Amino acid sequence: MASLREIHRYMNERLTVVLRDGRVGKISRVDTFFPKSETVVTVWLKDQADSGLVKVGLEDVVGTTPPRPP
């Protein structure tokens, strides 16, 4: 699970992230709601079978994909 700070870094650097269920995409928006401190991450999925925007919780973002070799 990534921290909120890491999530914002992934979004700002346009890194590709992996979700807990194996889907891959890029973060387009992060919303934190107070006073519960609930964070919703909006991810643009890149898979052809499951493309589009999806909203997931902070705990569903596992990390980034490894960089491609040159």
Q: How many domains does the chain have?
A: 1
Residue 20 or 67, more confident: 20
Give the per-residue pLDDT at 66. 81
The CATH number linked to 35 is: 2.30.30
Question: What domain range is 28 assigned to?
Answer: 4-63
Order across the sheet with 24-33: list the strands.
52-57, 38-45, 24-33, 16-19, 61-64
Query: Which residues 6+ apart lie within 8 Å of 55 measured at CB?
Result: 40, 41, 42, 43
Percent of the chain exceeding pLDDT 70 equals 93
pLDDT of residue 70: 66
Q: What is the mean pLDDT of residues 48-63?
A: 87
pLDDT at 44: 94
- Domain for residue 69, yes or no? no
Helix (H, G, I), strand (E, B) or coil at 5: helix
Q: What is the pLDDT of residue 17?
A: 94
Only one residue has tokens 């387009």, namely 28
